[in-house]
Copies of this chain bind each other. A is one copy, B any other.
Amino acid sequence: MTQTATGEAARDRVERAALELFTSRGFDAVTADEVADAAGISRRTFFRYYPAKADAVWGDFAAHVERLDRLLHSADGGRPVLATVCAAYAEVNDYRDDDLPALRQRMRLILTEPALQAHSQLRYAEIDRVVAEHVARSTADDPAGLLPRLVAASTRAAATTAFAAWLADERTALGDQLRRTFDELAAGFPSLRG
């Protein structure tokens, strides 16, 4: 219990330090040693917490994916699949206002730093798997089939695009941006025809 508590606290310190250092000096210019030092742990322990330097930016991403999975499992089967996926994305990313600055910082890093951009693909693959499985359940299809894969990949593309737009424009809420972007996708890009 105490160990878990200190472990959690240490992880929190690491993630704060990582966000701070990477933002101010750039991901590549900061060594894992520096992050570990700033968090008061050893380099070795850092790499036990996070399998890669980049993972310190993502926090507990497995829990994130698990939440998304649960939401999709418990979703109303009568609703259109895209609407369900959009709502799940929106709910998973519905942060408290106090957490928004950290979220912005994290997403800005992930979307701009090449090394993190590359690493993100590995995280996104976990999301895609969960979404593809949901589509497969809804359509009695193979999760590895064309449609589940396509829906997973393109909704994820929509979500990251929405994130980028949200970062660029401080005014609109993330949830609204997600819904707007999904609408565009689901309707086959109506503004291209207008």
* Residues of A in contact with B (beta carbons under 8 Å apart): 80-82, 114, 117-122, 125, 135, 138-139, 144, 146-147, 149-151, 153-154, 156-158, 160-161, 164-165, 168, 180-181, 184-189, 191-193
CA distance A156 to B161 in the complex (A): 12
Q: List 17 A–B pairs whose Cβ atoms lie within 8 Å, in order of A's numbering.
A: A82-B189, A114-B122, A117-B121, A117-B122, A117-B125, A120-B121, A139-B191, A146-B161, A147-B184, A147-B192, A150-B185, A153-B157, A154-B154, A154-B161, A154-B185, A187-B188, A188-B188
- Residues of B contacting A154 in the complex (Cβ-Cβ under 8 angstroms): 154, 157-158, 161, 185
Structural contact, B118 and A144, CB atoms closer than 8 A: no
CA distance A122 to B119 in the complex (A): 10
CA distance A160 to B124 in the complex (A): 14
Structural contact, B181 and A146, CB atoms closer than 8 A: yes
